[in-house]
Structure 1
Amino acid sequence: MATNHDKLSPPMSRSSVVYEKILTAIIRGEYVVDRKLPTEAQLSATYAVSRPTIREVLARLKEDNLVVSRRGSGSYVTTRPDFTVLQFAKISSISDIQRCFEFRKDLEGGAAKYAAARRTTAQLDTIDKASKSLRKAIELGSIATAEDFSFHLAIAESTNNHYYPTVLKSLRENIQKGMDITRTLTLQASERRLATVQSEHDAVVDAIIEGNGERAREAMTDHLENARGRMFEGA
């Protein structure tokens, strides 16, 4: 029986289905790092889709820094994501989370820019408290997903444009799923990576405090792009 979620979820496009299959093959080591992928014609035959669909898939894999094109040679695998990623989400979820990060860069980059220009003293205090709560949770070894979301929401609310926090709240489940994965992987990594993540948050806060909208936007988009990349860092 179909669930409500199944009824609401749109059917996956052919390119999304093939993207998942190739990503799975890369994670499992079936397509090897620094080795050439099969040609477009071969991939088209293997996955029973058109070559334009394969080109669309390869473009997405390039955006996710998983493959690179070499002129006159073809496409090569550049990164094999850590197999532990699959412990936290299905491939379909990982693909969706990547697209969510892509959307968040524009949404939250804009929010940070307007927050820098419009935040009140009280809102700035809320952002600062959220940042400190996140830092403390990290120091205690917590995954801190709730604290991380609260930090981003505080910035969205400081735009004084209700559309920003409304959209962010509507995406809470998707966003927190991505946070669960990236923050868990970060906790399993080095202290240096933990410090890097915190410094990215600090850069956003500093720019908002200074009222520098462009710098705040850049710091936020850099942070989200880096977070997306950390999910796909190689094994």
Structure 2
Amino acid sequence: MSIARKKIYEEISDIILSEIKSGKLKPGDKLPAITKMADSYGVSQASIREALNRLKVLDIIHVKHGHGSFINQQMPLGFEQNFEIITKADIANLLDLRKIIEVGCARSACERADADDLKKMEDTLKTMWTAVENNELGEQADYDFHMAIAEATGNPLLINLMEDVSDTMIRTMKETRRIWLYETKKSIQKIYDEHKLILKAIKDKDEEAAGAGMYRHLKEVEDLLLTHY
């Protein structure tokens, strides 16, 4: 059995994380310029940029354009206990799992969703729309919408599977929205519209449309993340 070696940017990310955990780097600290970090670590500037991008995904740092990268004042929940970086392979595996599970969930919800289930989906969409209007990412509402569909199936095994990957789902949802908004310059409303179409198909009890809509949505998310991550 072979053990995959970490990529350079993963090693750099781990070093920075270790320095934060040890207290060498503190909340609010400004990281050195990319050129200086590249010289210090003896790696390319591209590797430093990838490392910083991964730390942004994890809510460890933020970038002030024209000023540099800074350690966030507050670390994500669970950071001190066992905080792991999401790798590109993790993203691919997660989206593969989600396509397998959630396309079936959407189709099943067409048959099994009752009035309460539909209201829950509608409420999460309203919350998502509020995020759109406020130019916020709205990743929690995104997750709640997908969970509402899973719960509508009435299958506890499906629900448990979704809950098992909930943390990673929310983090990748946040990154999807960040990329959409800041890197591809597209509106978060596009994601909202995709969810709205899925809900319409479920309300119409159109299994084909619900399954196809969910697959298209997740495939686009997968392509976006794997291209920009």
TM-score class, shorter: 0.5 to 0.7
Out of 112, 125, 133, the residue aligned to residue 106 of structure 2 is 112
1:163 to 154, 157, 168: 157
Q: Quick one: structure 1 residues 231 and 123, their matched pair in 2 at CA, closer, same or farther if it must change by over 3 Å?
A: same
What's the RMSD between the two structures over aligned residues?
2.6
1:129 aligns with 2:129: no
Query: Which amino acid is 2:115 matched to?
Result: T
**For residues 155 and 188 of structure 1, do their structure 2 counterparts lie closer, same or farther at Cα, with a shift above 3 Å needed?**
same
- TM-score, normalised on structure 2? 0.63
What are the ranges of 5 or more consecutive residues in structure 2 without an aligned counterpart?
11-48, 59-83
Counterpart CA distance in 1 for 2:125 and 2:219 is 19
- 1:21 is displaced (CA, Å) by 3.9
> 1:103 is matched with which residue?
97
In the alignment, which of 44, 53, 57 is matched to residue 88 of structure 1? 57
Within the candidate set 205, 210, 216, 2:210 is matched to: 216
Q: 1:193 to 1:230 in 2, by over 3 A?
A: farther
**SS of aligned partner of 2:87:** helix
Alpha carbons of structure 1 residues 230 and 193: separation in structure 2 relative to 1, 3 Å: farther
Equivalent residues of 1:109, 1:217 under 8 A apart: yes
Q: Please give the alpha-carbon distance, in whole angstroms, between the structure 2 residues aligned to 1:101 and 1:186.
A: 17
Q: Scaled by the length of structure 1, what TM-score is found?
A: 0.61
Residue correspondences, number: 164
- Does residue 1:142 correspond to 2:136, yes or no? yes
Partner of 1:77: none
User: Aligned partners of 1:147, 1:85: CA distance in 2, in Å?
Assistant: 24
Matched, 1:175 2:169: yes
Relative to structure 1, is the Cα distance of residues 174 and 129 closer, same or farther in structure 2, using a 3 angstrom cutoff? same
How far 1:187 moved relative to its partner?
Answer: 2.4
- One-letter amino acid of the counterpart of residue 88, structure 1: V
The 1:211/1:94 distance shift into structure 2, 3 A limit, reads same
Q: Which amino acid aligns with 2:139?
A: T
- Tell me how far apart the structure 2 counterparts of residues 14 and 176 of structure 1 sit (CA, whole Å): 31
**Alpha-carbon deviation of 1:85?**
4.0
1:180, 1:138 → 2: CA distance?
13
Give distance in 2, aligned partners of 1:234 and 1:177.
Answer: 15
Is residue 109–residue 218 contact of structure 1 (8 Å, CA) maintained in 2?
Answer: yes
Structure 1 pair 120/192, CA: closer, same or farther in 2 (3 Å)? same
- Give runs of aligned pairs for residues 190-209 of structure 1, distance below 5 A: 192-209=186-203
Distance 1:120 1:194, change over 3 A: same
Residue 170 of structure 1 aligns with an amino acid whose one-letter code is D
Q: Which residue number corresponds to residue 45 of structure 1?
A: none
> Which structure 2 residues correspond to residues 20-39 of structure 1 after superposition, within 5 A?
21=7
Unaligned runs of 5+ in 1: 1-12, 25-81
Whether the aligned pair in 1 keeps the contact of 2:124 and 2:144 (CA below 8 Å) is yes
Q: d(CA) in 1 for partners of 2:228 and 2:187?
A: 14
Bigger relative CO (Cα 8 Å, ≥ 6 apart): 1
Secondary structure of residue in 1 paired with 2:136: coil
Paired with 1:194 and 1:97, the residues of 2 have a C-alpha distance of 20
